[in-house]
């Protein structure tokens, strides 16, 4: 995977010193902006530990279900009526695992803008008491379908920020605002509210 992202996507990484080392690095919530379908692979290639990604159920193409099962993807109901995914993420974190979250709930459109963050990320962090590793991604392919980015060359850039720990008494909304503020500061991108 590392060769693929470095050669095909010419991935460059900043802030690697912030990434915990070792295969047992949890509990940890990896929070990323979402630019393309290639994003999870770009992040995973820089990590020694397994990241269990949360993914919208409507994006899980049925023909790839064996892969989703193998990757232990945590399916998310984007309508917000089912809390099964949040409970599974919290359970995995409490067991010392790592969960990857795209709190924008979809790919950034237009490119280089930040969409609002869903407060589910703050809920998962507050309930698990896990620290956050923020990851800013840019330079990925701008394609119509998320999966086209897997075979479209790019010049991806991935920046890992310092580990963030929620303050005592911070609720889900505050945690979500705090994490999003890091992305606003480091990217300088406008909001796509």
Q: Is 191 domain-assigned?
A: no
Q: What is the pLDDT of residues 76-112, one digit of tens each?
A: 987 767 788 999 999 999 999 999 999 999 999 898 9
Closest among 130, 132, 128 to 117, alpha carbons compared:
132
Q: What are phi and psi of 29, to 5 degrees?
A: -110, 115
**Residue 6 forms part of a structural domain:** yes
42 domain-assigned:
yes
> Does any domain span residue 72?
yes
pLDDT at 157: 97
Indicate the helix (H) or strand (E) that contains 67: helix 65-70
Counting the structural domains of the chain, the total is 1
Q: Which domain holds residue 39?
A: 2-18+25-152
Kindly report the pTM of this predicted structure.
0.93
The proportion of the chain whose per-residue pLDDT surpasses 70, expressed as a percent, equals 98
pLDDT of the residue at 40:
95
Q: What is the SS3 assignment for 134?
A: strand
What percent helix, strand, coil does the chain show, rounded to 5?
Answer: 35, 20, 45
Separation of alpha carbons 124 and 116, rounded Å: 17
CB 28 within 8 A of CB 131: yes
* Dist. CA 184–CA 133, nearest whole Å: 15
pLDDT band per the 50, 70, 90 thresholds, residue 132: very high
């Amino acid at each position: 995977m590392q060769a693929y992202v470095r050669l095909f996507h010419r991935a460059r990484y900043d802030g690697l010193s912030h990434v915990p080392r070792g295969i047992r690095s949890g509990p940890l919530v990896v929070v990323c902006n979402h630019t393309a379908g290639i994003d999870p692979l770009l992040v995973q290639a820089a990590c020694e530990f397994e990241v269990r990604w949360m993914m919208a159920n409507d994006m899980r193409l049925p023909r790839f279900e064996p892969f989703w099962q193998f990757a232990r993807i945590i399916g998310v109901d984007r309508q917000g009526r089912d809390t099964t995914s949040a409970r599974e993420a919290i359970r995995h974190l409490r067991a010392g695992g790592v969960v990857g979250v795209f709190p924008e709930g979809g790919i950034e459109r237009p490119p280089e803008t930040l969409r609002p963050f869903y407060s589910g990320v703050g809920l998962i962090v507050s309930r698990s008491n896990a620290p956050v590793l923020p990851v800013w991604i840019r330079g990925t392919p701008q394609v119509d379908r998320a999966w086209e980015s897997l075979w479209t060359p790019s010049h991806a850039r991935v920046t890992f920020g310092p580990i963030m720990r929620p303050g005592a008494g911070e609720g889900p909304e505050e945690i979500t605002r705090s994490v999003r503020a890091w992305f606003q500061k480091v990217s300088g991108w406008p909001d796509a509210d």
